[in-house]
Amino acid sequence: MITYVNPTGLMSMLSQAEVDMLRSAASGKIYDLYRRCSLAVLNCGSVTDSAEDLLKQFHNFGINVIRRERGVKLEIFNAPESAFVDGEIIQAIQDHLFSVLRDIVFMHSFPALPPSAPGMDESTGITNLIFRSLRNAGVLSTGIEPNLVVCWGGHSIGESEYRYTEEVGRQLGLRHLDICTGCGPGAMEGPMKGATFGHLLQRDRNYRFIGLTEPSIIAAEPPNPFVTELCILPDMEKRLEAFARIGHAMVIFPGGPGTAEELFFLLGLKMDERNAGQPMPLVLTGPEECRGYFEAIDRFIRAAVGDRASQYYEIVVNDPKRVADICAEGMKRVTQQRISSGDSFSFNWTLHIDPEMQKPLEATHQVLDNIVLKRDGHDSELIVNLRKVFSGIVAGNVKNQGREEVAKYGPFKIHGERQIMAEMDNLLRSFVASGRMKLGGEEYTPCYELVETD
């Protein structure tokens, strides 16, 4: 079956030169990635964390960018039937398809200014690339006061946890607050679903559900059906920075190593003295049955980083209204800070991010072998390394490159001091026991091995 799809958004207005470069790039070395990501969004709403399973199921799927006088059109072969209603592609999926074309192919064809541009160091160049990606995706809006809550949490969660994320989302929507998540299932979907009802009760018409992802994740984890704006950042580190720069409040639900990675990235920012004036609230929350989960997270943070780290987050158990109230109150402080600093409401330029936290991590045995988790008075280095370790575990669990690395050379080895390793072992075991490592209740084989250094 062949389907032709017309462009939307930025892709609906291109010059002939841009069209030619786009077609050339789409059929070149990035075609496989482009095909994988396109297939993922065509399966919008499906629950999986395996790109290989999707490709096996739709092995004869193909996509081409074809030229027309006023721009481009997509030619799609053997697309999933679930992407269509009465022979017409679902509008949200059509939008997401051109988000993939924009972020995977167009941005590749037309890179941002190089780091050597006048007055621009490498770190500034990265931030400008993130800004450009978000602006092109329509994520950055002017004239809207701070109201965006970033919600992080696991893709593999139980029914009661999912219902809790829905209720938190409903409470946020009732307070006219928009939602941004990693765009996948589970705790990334629930707040958006719940906020839909909250906004409808308030008769809000222009609410926004922003999904930020990166190529290796979206290829394995299709976006949930509530995402209204999708942006695919080049890698995990740029995705994390994008969350931090556009979010005005952060809510973290229970999750696995990916959620831990996000938490340590944010802790690294909040504990940096140069960000002392940044008022962004950080709430860890879940239903009563997750109290033990948060106790384990809190215990691990205190053991690894120290008690002072606990002042940068608040744990709220089984109280969605309290979570929403904290976020709403935080918006007032964020608004005042942005006005006094002259910063943008939609993109936090004044937030300092250490260049080491911007560097993409290549999850290989060699890279992870060189990381040692130890407390030696350098909290910033330890937090950066904790983020990298959890990122490596995520790669070994769900990302193609990481899974191939583990299949070929065995589990990643994680090195650290005895106390940190003992607490990490407890934490990771709890993730496994509660099914937070894999979707669908699959039996989990650890992609890591903990090694004490003393």
The pLDDT of residue 50 is 59
What's the rounded mean pLDDT across residues 71-84? 88
pLDDT greater than 70 at residue 113: no
Q: Are residues 368 and 226 in the same domain?
A: no
Q: Are residues 345 and 366 in the same domain?
A: no
Q: Are residues 196 and 92 in the same domain?
A: no
Calculate the alpha carbon distances from 239 to 173, 234, 282 in Å. 24, 7, 18
Model confidence pLDDT, tens digit, residues 421-448: 999 999 999 888 888 887 655 678 899 9
Better-scored residue on pLDDT, 45 or 201: 201
pLDDT greater than 90 at residue 162: yes
> Domain range for residue 351?
126-355
pLDDT greater than 60 at residue 115: no
Better-scored residue on pLDDT, 325 or 435: 325
Q: Residue 291 falls within a domain, yes or no? A: yes
Work out whether strand 71-77 and strand 62-68 pair parallel, antiparallel, or are unpaired.
antiparallel
Q: Are residues 373 and 349 in the same domain?
A: no
pLDDT greater than 60 at residue 116: no
Q: Are residues 351 and 385 in the same domain?
A: no
Which has the closest alpha carbon to 36: 11, 20, 12, 53? 53
Q: Are residues 33 and 160 in the same domain?
A: no
Q: Are residues 156 and 303 in the same domain?
A: yes
Largest interatomic CA distance in the chain: 67
State the burial class of residue 432 (Cβ atoms within 10 Å of its Cβ: 0-12, 13-18, 19+).
middle
The pLDDT confidence band at residue 17, using thresholds 50, 70 and 90, is confident
Q: Residue 100 falls within a domain, yes or no? A: yes
The pLDDT confidence band at residue 267, using thresholds 50, 70 and 90, is very high
The pLDDT of residue 71 is 77
Q: Are residues 186 and 203 in the same domain?
A: yes
Structurally, how many domains does the chain consist of?
3
Mean pLDDT, the chain, integer: 89
pLDDT greater than 70 at residue 250: yes
Better-scored residue on pLDDT, 70 or 118: 70
Q: Residue 83 falls within a domain, yes or no? A: yes
The pLDDT of residue 114 is 52
Q: Residue 116 falls within a domain, yes or no? A: no
The pLDDT confidence band at residue 120, using thresholds 50, 70 and 90, is low
Q: Residue 119 falls within a domain, yes or no? A: no
Give the CATH number for residue 139.
3.40.50.450
pLDDT greater than 80 at residue 322: yes
Task: Dump strand ranges (E) for 111-157.
Answer: 148-152
pLDDT greater than 60 at residue 67: yes
Model confidence pLDDT, tens digit, residues 253-262: 999 898 999 9
Which has the closest alpha carbon to 179: 160, 202, 156, 195? 195
Q: Are residues 209 and 288 in the same domain?
A: yes
Please name the residues in contact with 69: beta carbons below 8 A apart, sequence gap of 6 or more.
none
Q: Are residues 198 and 287 in the same domain?
A: yes
What's the rounded mean pLDDT across residues 168-193? 96
Work out whether strand 282-286 and strand 314-317 pair parallel, antiparallel, or are unpaired.
parallel
Can you tell me the distance from the alpha carbon of 141 to that of 262, in angstroms, rounded to the nearest whole number?
Answer: 24
Q: Are residues 165 and 263 in the same domain?
A: yes
The pLDDT of residue 49 is 54
Q: Which two tokens stand for residue 147?
A: 């109201």
Contact present, 317 and 254 (Cβ < 8 Å): no
Can you tell me the distance from the alpha carbon of 130 to that of 236, in angstroms, rounded to the nearest whole number?
Answer: 12
The pLDDT of residue 399 is 80
Give the CATH number for residue 92.
3.30.1850.10
What's the rounded mean pLDDT across residues 124-137? 92
The pLDDT of residue 44 is 81
The pLDDT of residue 291 is 93
Last residue of a domain, one of 299, 334, 355: 355
The pLDDT of residue 440 is 56
